[in-house]
Amino acid sequence: MKLLRRTLIATAALVALGAQAAATVGQPAPDFALKDTAGKTVRLSDFKGKHVVLEWTNPGCPFVKKHYDSGNMPATQKDATSQGVVWLSINSTEKASGDYLEPAKLMAWKTERKSAPTAVLMDEEGTVGKSYGARTTPHLYIVNPQGQLIYAGGIDSIPSARASDIEKATNYVKVGLAEALAGKPLSAATTQPYGCSIKYKSPA
C-alpha cells in the first residue's frame, strides 16, 4: 500500500518535472487531483477499490459529438455507473482554444445529452492528460480497484465520425468493463484511440 502510494507520488513528480512518462497498461495509473465542474477537488485515489473509467472529452470535437448526440457515450456511462464503476470525464482543452467551454457550460452540454458521469473534471493545464498520454477526444482508460491501468484506447472498434457506425462497432469500454468486473483479463487492453487531437496548452 505504502509502496503503491510512493510510486504514485514519484510518477506524479516525474510528470510535473516534464519527464512525460506516459501511463502504461499494467502499471499503476498516475494519481491526480482535479477540480470538477462545481469546483470540488476529485482525486483518482478517492476511488481505490472500484473500477474507474477515465474519458477524455471535448464537446467541440465531432467525434465526441458522434458518441454523445447518438446517445452512445451517455448509455455506456450509465451502463458502467449502474454496476458501481466510477466514470470521470476529463476535459484537457486549453482555455485559449476555441473549443474551450467553461465548467458550467460544459456541464450543461453534458446534462443536455443525458450524460451522467460520476464527475466532469477540468484539466485546462493538460498535466493529467499528458501524464496518461491522452491523445484524442474521445480517449478512454480503465483503472482497476488496485489502481492499475488495465485499458487504454478508443471507445470502439470503428474509427469514423459517422454515428451509423456505432451499431456495427465493438464498444471496447463496455466489453473491457464486463471482463474486468468478471475478474477476467481484458481481451483488448490497448486499442487505437481515434478522434480529434486534444487541444493541449502549448508548453510555455
Partner 1 sequence: MQAIAAPAPVAQHNGAHDEMPRGRRNQPPRDRSHTATMPYRLLHRLAFALLLIAISAYWTSASAQFGSKSAATTAAGSSVVTTPYVRAELLAHAPQGVAPGQPLWLGLQITHQPEWHTYWKNPGDSGLPTDLAWTLPPGLDAGDIAWPVPRKIPIGTLANYGYEGTVLLPVPVTVASTFAPGPLAQEATIRLRASWLVCRKECIPEEGEFTLQLPIKSTTALHAAAFDAAAKAQPRPVMAGTNGIIPDSQAQIVDGNALQVSVQGLPTALRGKTLDLFPETGEVIDNAAQWSQSWKGSVWTARIPLAAQRSNSPSVMPVVLAVQDGGHNAREGYRAELKVLGTWPAAASMATVSPALEAALKANAANAAVPAPTGASALTLAAALLGALLGGLLLNLMPCVFPVLAIKVVGFTQHAQNRRAHRISGLAYTAGVVLSFLALGALMLGLRAAGEAVGWGFQLQSPAVVAGLAALFTLIALNLAGVFEFGHFLPSSVASLQARHPVADSFLTGVLAVAVASPCTAPFMGASLGLTATLPAAQALAVFAALGLGLALPYLAASLVPAIARALPRPGAWMDTFRKLMAFPMLATVVWLVWVLGQQSGIDGAGALLILLVGMALVVWALSLAGRARIWMGSVAVAAMALMLWAFAPHVTRVAAEPSVAVAPAGSPVAGWQPWAPGAAEDIVASGRPVFVDFTAAWCVTCQYNKKTTLANADVLADLQAKNVALLRADWTRRDPAITAALAALGRSGVPVYVFYRPGKPPVVLTEILTVDEVRSTIATL
Q: Which is nearer to partner 1, 89 or 137 (CB)?
A: 137
> Between 17 and 36, how does the x/- string for binding to partner 1 read (CB under 8 A)?
---xxxxxxxx---------
**3-state secondary structure at position 73:** helix
Q: Which residues between 89 and 148 bind partner 1 (CB under 8 A)?
A: 97-99, 101, 105, 109, 112, 130, 133, 135-136, 144-148
Q: Which is nearer to partner 1, 70 or 170 (CB)?
A: 70
> What are 204's three cell numbers?
510555455
Minimum separation from the CB atom of position 152 to partner 1 (A) = 4
> What are 3's three cell numbers?
509502496
C-beta separation of 182 from 188 below 8 A? no
- Report cis status (omega within 30 of 0) of the bond before 138: yes
Q: Does 80 bind partner 1 (CB under 8 A)?
A: no
Residue of the chain from 40, 50, 111, 116 that contacts partner 1 (CB under 8 A): 50
Minimum separation from the CB atom of position 108 to partner 1 (A) = 9
CA distances from 146 to 30, 135, 174, 204 (A): 12, 25, 20, 35
> How many CB atoms neighbour CB 188 within 10 A?
14
Return the bridge partners of 153, or none: 140
- Which residue's entry shows cell 494519481? 31
Q: Which is nearer to partner 1, 45 or 116 (CB)?
A: 45
Residue of the chain from 29, 30, 42, 65 that contacts partner 1 (CB under 8 A): 65
Q: Which residues between 149 and 168 bind partner 1 (CB under 8 A)?
A: 150, 152-153, 159-164, 166-167
